[in-house]
Amino acid sequence: MSIRKVLGVLAAAAMAVSLCGCGEGASEYDASSIGPKLNIGITFDRPGLGFSHSSEYKGLEVDLARLIAQDLGYSPNQIVWKQVRPGSREGALTSGQVDMVLASYSITQARKQVVDFAGPYFMAGQDLLVRKDEGSIKGVDSLEDRRVCTEKGSTSSQVIRRRAPKALLQERDELGQCITALLSGDADAASSDDFVLAGLAHVKGGGQLRLVGVPFTRERYGVGVRKDQAELVSTINHALEKMMKDGGWAAAVKEAASSIGYQVDPSSRRPDRLDGSLSSEVR
């Protein structure tokens, strides 16, 4: 079943619950404290996760955000999509520009000092993207004196500095610029999460790029909200739990992966608990 059909089924079910007032475990969160519109921060340039084209928003995080909004009682036309970048996510939340963020937002201890997280809702791993004819880069341990491009403000930059201190790190404002640098020969590798890289390679790589396929971190994507909103975190977790039980989450993951030509087993990307677990290095 496609995610659009899943959304339709869940919308009908939600309407029925609201009319009868009898939904078991229904959310008790008062969404009126947020306001008549729900401002959601997403990426606009990450195919498969959050992507904007001709005022249409697509991707796994867009689909999950819509389902969360529905659980909070918001209709699709009450959602306001706002672009966030790695370096602006905390600021967008703390300033009130957005009410929540779903933007490949890895849960880290440093970030939890500033914002709260629901989830995690998806598991990824930092990897490397290289040109197809590149045979010497086999993982993070073979980056000495190699030019590695990352997005400014991302955890990917921090990990490369820590795990490959002799790499020649290049930070650019947008990850898409790293793809351009890789294709032109100005960089030897681009580093970000595997799902992110797969999406950009599919859309921008022209068949000339490949994933190394040796992830060296475990990234847990969370829904970021402002601090001290325990009820909202609990409600979002409840919505995520429902999606994971009724098949909506797996359908969204499959559709997102298919849209970028990436082979993914949803069960391998499903978190085992919704407790704000931190991202971690695994190699």
3-state secondary structure 126-182: EEEEEECCCCCCCCHHHCCCCEEEEECCCHHHHHHHHHCCCCEEEEECCHHHHHHHH
The pLDDT of residue 283: 57
pLDDT at 20 over 90: no
Does position 74 have pLDDT exceeding 80, yes or no? Answer: yes
Mark whether 113 and 145 lie in a shared domain.
no
Say what the pLDDT of residue 209 is. Answer: 98
Verify that 130 and 110 share a domain, yes or no: no
Relative orientation angle of helices 194-204 and 175-184, to the nearest 10 degrees: 60
Residues with Cβ within 8 Å of 277's Cβ and at least 6 positions away in sequence, in order, are 107, 120, 220, 271
* C-alpha dist (Å) from residue 259 to 2, 100, 237: 12, 25, 26
φ/ψ of 254, rounded to 5, equals -60, -45
Asked whether residue 140 falls in the same domain as residue 95, the answer is no
pLDDT of residue 16: 35
Look up residue 92 and give its DSSP letter. H
Identity at 220, one-letter amino acid code: R
List pLDDT tens digits, range 272-283. Answer: 999 999 999 875
Residue 48 is assigned to a structural domain of this protein: yes
Residue at 272 is within a domain: no
pLDDT tens sequence across 167-209: 999 999 999 999 999 999 999 999 999 999 999 999 999 999 9
In a domain, 253, yes or no: yes
Share of the chain above pLDDT 90, in %: 86
Query: Is residue 273 in some structural domain?
Result: no
Residue 35 has pLDDT above 80, yes or no: yes
Residues 55 and 172 in one domain: no
Instruction: Calculate the average pLDDT of the chain.
Output: 91
Contacts of 21 (CB under 8 A, 6+ apart): none
Q: Domain check: are 9 and 59 in the same one?
A: yes
pLDDT tens digits along 127-160 = 999 999 999 999 999 999 999 999 998 999 999 9
From 158, 69, 45, select the one nearest 110 (Cα to Cα). Answer: 158
Does 154 reside within a domain?
yes
Residue 271, in any domain of the structure:
no
In this structure, the answer to whether residues 103 and 212 fall within a common structural domain is: no
Whether 189 and 146 have beta carbons less than 8 Å apart is answered as yes
Which 8-state DSSP code applies to residue 269? G
Task: Say whether both 35 and 153 belong to one domain.
Answer: no
Same domain, 235 and 248: yes
Give me the CATH number covering residue 155. Answer: 3.40.190.10
Residues 102 and 165 in one domain: no
Q: Give the range of the structural domain holding residue 174, as residue numbers without chain letter.
A: 126-217
Q: What integer is the mean pLDDT of 52-76?
A: 95
Q: Check whether residue 225 and residue 254 sit in a common domain.
A: yes
Please tell me whether residues 70 and 140 are part of one structural domain. no
Which pLDDT belongs to residue 33? 85
Q: What is the pLDDT of residues 101-130, one digit of tens each?
A: 999 999 999 999 999 999 999 999 999 999
How many separate helices (H) and strands (E) can be counted in the chain? 9, 14
The residue behind tokens 């309407």 is: 15
Contact 61, 49 (CB under 8 A): yes
Instruction: Work out how many domains the chain is built from and give that number.
Output: 2
HSE-CB of 92 using CA atoms within 13 angstroms: 23
Residue 130 resides in a domain: yes
Task: Give 232-271 pLDDT, tens digit per residue.
Answer: 999 999 999 999 999 999 999 999 999 999 999 999 999 9
Three-state DSSP class for residue 67: helix
Going by C-alpha positions, the residue among 32, 31, 66 that lies closest to residue 252 is 66
> Is residue 283 assigned to a domain?
no
Angstrom CA distances, 219 to 126, 169, 192, 280, stand at 7, 21, 10, 6
What's the pLDDT score for residue 240?
98
Indicate if 13 and 106 belong to the same structural domain. Answer: yes
